[in-house]
Structure 1
Amino acid sequence: MKNATIQTSELAKALSLPHIVTLYIGAVIGSGVLLIPGMAAEMAGPASILAWLFMTILVLPMAITMGLLSARHPSSGGVSTFVRLAFGDRYGNMVGWFFLLSVPVGAPIVAVTASHYVAVLLQWSQLQVYLAAGLILFVVVAMNIFGLKVASRVQTIVVSLIVAILVLAVLAALPHAKASHFTPFAPHGWLSIVQVAGLLFWCFIGWEAVTHLSEEFVDPEKNAVRGVLWSAAIVALLYFAVALVTVATHSYGEGRSEASLSVMVQLSLGPIGGWLVGATALFICVATVNAYIGAASRIAYALAREGTAPRWFGRVHAKYGTPVGGLLFLSICFCFVLLVLAMGWIDLTRLIQFPNATFFATYIGGCLAGVRLLKNSRYSRLSAWTSLIVTGGLYPFLGWSALYPLVIVGVLLIWEFKRSKASL
């Protein structure tokens, strides 16, 4: 089995523009499209549409900033490489570990979410839910072992299904839209729009994940920004269409907000709509997990290459050119997190706060790097500064979970001190 041996080598370049677009869409469109439109409409009424429009415009500079940095500095280190170039190795390593320690917790949460949607339809037990979540993670890890070309082809199919189902949901609900559902327009006051905008920010996180795959882009200088622009336009249209029709059909309130998409679809399709939304949830979660596992395994590889992670993190499959060391690390973490959840030692609501905080810290680092590295264009600088102001302004509202990245920093500083002391 000579072909199955593992060694350190270069990652294979396999991602063309269509693959990049589908990876971006899969990373950004998460379970939020199933939950947030109804919740936002309940909080702000029809005026929530303005919040969607506002956030769609506001997060575009963030996406463009990540695309520009990927085009100029393609690397499996992604955001950590940008921070390393801007501020040095210490801070780059910190951001790399922020992202790496987000995915081992975040991916199982997404997989369990997908399993719960299917479990409602098939009346599964809790054990079956966690076994199905484990199966989802196993399949995605296996796809990534065979290479991003395989994983991205699957991603293209899955994202195409997501887009098709969401478009079908919107079109099926249109006959039930009424102008009367837009009055009163702001029943909870205009301030509620700002409050909803903060909630909507979570629907647009994901641009940082694909930066870690940029070393495997075909012609990154040309395709990175184009991929961002195409995917941002598609994501914005899908989110806005779902949110608009949710309001137009009044598929929210009275305990229906968290299942607003299902309510909306069932207006025309009946019970089959529940199955359709269940399938959508599964596809969305698989696409998200695929994007983040691919990204996290690459940052593990990059940290090992920099000498700030165990050497086995940097092992690459000889035949497929994939970072199997990072995938092995993630797999071990997934087993542990699923066990913790299955045993009831912590619930999803509390657990999800930790990866949210580290993702936010990753964005702040990337935006700071963009301010320093993107100086040759006024529009590039404007994108970076806008992104920094948005992310920095929202970070304090994370609450106690905002301390999680600081704990990681403390551990890394202690480890760095001990390593430097041992080398004396």
Structure 2
Amino acid sequence: MTNESKLQSTIGLPQAIALYIGAVLGSGILIVPGLAAQMAGPASLLAWGFMTLLILPMALSMGLLSAKFPNAGGVSHFVTLAFSPRAGAYIGWFFLMSVPIGAPVAALTGAGYMTAAMGWGDESRMMLAAAMLAVGLIINWIGMKVAGRIQIAVVIAIVAVLIFAIAAALPQMETVHFTPFVPHGWFPVGQAATILFWCFIGWEAVSHMSEEFTNPQRAAVRGVTIAAVIVGLLYFLTALATVGTQSYLAGDSDASLVWVISRAIGPWGAIIAGLTGIFICTATIIAYVGAASRVAYALSRQGQAFRWMGILSQRFHTPIGGIAFLSVCFVIIMVLYGSGTVSLINLIQFPNATFILTYLGGCAAGIKLLRGSRWGVAISWISFISTAIVFPFVGWAMLYPCLITAVLWITDRIRHKRTLSHPTSTITEQEKATVRHG
């Protein structure tokens, strides 16, 4: 193992598309269409339509930056170039500390669908979630060439199931199900839109793998555009099927898609939905473990993280230092959950603010770095404003980035004092060049 190796460029356009879809198309597609329809009725489709249009600028703002400045630091690197190395380090740590919680949440959510379908208990849920996390870690250890291929297969399976569910819903859709169109007034439509927003963030995650794109311009811009269209259509059509069949009124609103599938194929529907949940959440884990391990590598390379976090595998040229860090964090979170110290509801809320701040940082960097492109600046502003509007709704989760900021500030102070007391101690030329050039 060495940290003098380099990440290998192995991610082509198909893999990039699959990684983008996996990062954004979370378990929300099984839950949110029913919740939104319950809140706003058929008018929720207007909120879906608006968010489907908004998805393109949100995706392209990250895609354009990844194409122009491909780097394992991703958003952290963009912020470093636009503002300062310290600001970039803070954003990098915000993202890095989101994934140790976000990935176990995704695993427990996906495992929950399967255990509910099979009638298994919480112990089985824990074991299945742990297996999903292990898969994400191992695949990323082997390398993005393999991870990208597996991600393609997983995404194809997800899309196939969703298309089947949508097609199965067509014979059950009736025009009467769309009336009254606005049963609860217009305000719930706006409320639904704020919930839908969470379904369309995640584009920033793949920017951390842009250093491994074989052709960053093609994979980032074209890949994110194709992925945005696919994700937008899948979400909107799933919402249309939910409203058109009134499945959100048939039982629990968060099981509306399960109801649609069950109507088509009977008792096997719940099992198919459970497997779909596992596939969707595993795809998310693969993408985010890949992104976070590369952020750890980039931060270490810049002298903003422990040196061991920048170690690369000699065999696979993958960031095993970052993967090891995530592995330890995953074990801690799973133990805390398994012991009942924290609930899934609490875990879900923790990374909300840090994920959004990461995305806001990327949008702000885009406004400054994409000045040569009129469209680039415009879409960065659109993404920044729409994200900023939602940020206050994270509530007490704002405390998590505040805690991270406090720890980083204290660490910076300690490092500064050590530098003053040991003036002969200097950073490496590579670190100097990294800070100087971003």
TM range (shorter): over 0.9
Give the counterpart letter for 1:306 in structure 2.
Answer: Q
SS in 1 for 2:249: coil
The one-character-per-residue Cα deviations of 1:124-161 (angstroms, maximum 9, x if unpaired) are 22222112111111122111111001111110000000
Distance in 2, Cα, partners of 1:27 & 1:12: 21
Distance in 1, Cα, partners of 2:87 & 2:270: 46
SS in 2 for 1:399: helix
The one-character-per-residue Cα deviations of 1:14-37 (angstroms, maximum 9, x if unpaired) are 000000000000111000000000
Distance in 2, Cα, partners of 1:364 & 1:407: 18
Distance in 2, Cα, partners of 1:83 & 1:7: 24
Distance in 1, Cα, partners of 2:116 & 2:63: 38
Matches within 5 A, 1:197-276: 197-253=193-249, 255-276=251-272
**Mean alpha-carbon deviation: is it higher for 121-130 or for 345-354?**
121-130
Q: CA offset at residue 395 of structure 1?
A: 0.7
5+ residue gaps, structure 1: none
Asked if the contact 1:176–1:267 (Cα under 8 Å) also holds between the matched residues in 2, the reply is: no
How many residues in Structure 1 have an aligned counterpart in Structure 2?
420
Q: Does 2:107 align with 1:111?
A: yes
Asked if the contact 2:117–2:271 (Cα under 8 Å) also holds between the matched residues in 1, the reply is: yes
Residue identity (%): 52
Provide the residue aligned with 1:420 in structure 2.
416
Give the counterpart letter for 2:60 in structure 1.
Answer: I
Q: CA offset at residue 179 of structure 1?
A: 0.4
SS in 2 for 1:252: helix
Distance in 2, Cα, partners of 1:241 & 1:331: 37
SS in 2 for 1:109: helix
The one-character-per-residue Cα deviations of 1:77-133 (angstroms, maximum 9, x if unpaired) are 000000000001010000000000000001011111111111122322222211211
Distance in 2, Cα, partners of 1:62 & 1:332: 32
Provide the residue aligned with 1:343 in structure 2.
339
Matches within 5 A, 1:133-172: 133-172=129-168
Give the counterpart letter for 1:313 in structure 2.
Answer: M
Asked if the contact 2:56–2:229 (Cα under 8 Å) also holds between the matched residues in 1, the reply is: no
Distance in 1, Cα, partners of 2:348 & 2:314: 35
Q: Does 2:191 align with 1:195?
A: yes
Give the counterpart letter for 1:303 in structure 2.
Answer: L
Asked if the contact 1:77–1:96 (Cα under 8 Å) also holds between the matched residues in 2, the reply is: yes
Which of 336, 353, 358 lines up with 1:357 in the alignment?
A: 353
**Mean alpha-carbon deviation: is it higher for 86-95 or for 399-408?**
399-408
Asked if the contact 1:111–1:137 (Cα under 8 Å) also holds between the matched residues in 2, the reply is: yes
Q: CA offset at residue 422 of structure 1?
A: 1.1
Q: Does 2:382 align with 1:377?
A: no
Q: CA offset at residue 253 of structure 1?
A: 2.9
SS in 2 for 1:352: helix
Q: CA offset at residue 192 of structure 1?
A: 1.2
Give the counterpart letter for 1:161 in structure 2.
Answer: A
SS in 2 for 1:84: helix
Which of 320, 324, 339 lines up with 2:320 in the alignment?
A: 324
Distance in 2, Cα, partners of 1:183 & 1:38: 16
Distance in 2, Cα, partners of 1:7 & 1:381: 36
Distance in 1, Cα, partners of 2:111 & 2:336: 16
Which of 79, 95, 98 lines up with 2:91 in the alignment?
A: 95
Q: CA offset at residue 410 of structure 1?
A: 1.7
Asked if the contact 1:170–1:245 (Cα under 8 Å) also holds between the matched residues in 2, the reply is: yes
Which of 3, 8, 19 lines up with 2:4 in the alignment?
A: 8
Asked if the contact 1:256–1:263 (Cα under 8 Å) also holds between the matched residues in 2, the reply is: no
Distance in 2, Cα, partners of 1:35 & 1:75: 34
Distance in 2, Cα, partners of 1:409 & 1:8: 29
Which structure 1 residue ranges, 4+ long, deviate > 4 Å from structure 2? none
Provide the residue aligned with 2:430 in structure 1.
none
SS in 2 for 1:162: helix
Provide the residue aligned with 1:181 in structure 2.
177
Matches within 5 A, 1:27-46: 27-46=23-42
SS in 2 for 1:423: helix
Distance in 2, Cα, partners of 1:121 & 1:353: 25
Distance in 2, Cα, partners of 1:298 & 1:366: 16
Distance in 1, Cα, partners of 2:228 & 2:111: 28
Q: CA offset at residue 264 of structure 1?
A: 1.2
SS in 1 for 2:384: helix
Distance in 2, Cα, partners of 1:123 & 1:251: 22
Distance in 2, Cα, partners of 1:245 & 1:380: 34
* Alpha-carbon distance change, 122 to 254 in structure 1, aligned in 2, over 3 angstroms: closer
Asked if the contact 2:55–2:232 (Cα under 8 Å) also holds between the matched residues in 1, the reply is: no
Distance in 1, Cα, partners of 2:104 & 2:131: 11
Q: Does 2:288 align with 1:292?
A: yes
Provide the residue aligned with 1:132 in structure 2.
128
Give the counterpart letter for 1:159 in structure 2.
Answer: V
Matches within 5 A, 1:45-124: 45-124=41-120
Give the counterpart letter for 1:398 in structure 2.
Answer: V
SS in 1 for 2:247: coil
5+ residue gaps, structure 2: 421-438
Provide the residue aligned with 1:313 in structure 2.
309
* TM-score normalized with structure 1 length: 0.98
Asked if the contact 1:316–1:323 (Cα under 8 Å) also holds between the matched residues in 2, the reply is: yes
**Mean alpha-carbon deviation: is it higher for 406-415 or for 153-162?**
406-415
Distance in 1, Cα, partners of 2:117 & 2:382: 43
The one-character-per-residue Cα deviations of 1:275-333 (angstroms, maximum 9, x if unpaired) are 11111101001000000000000000000000010000000001111000000000000
The one-character-per-residue Cα deviations of 1:375-408 (angstroms, maximum 9, x if unpaired) are 0121111001111111111111111112221221
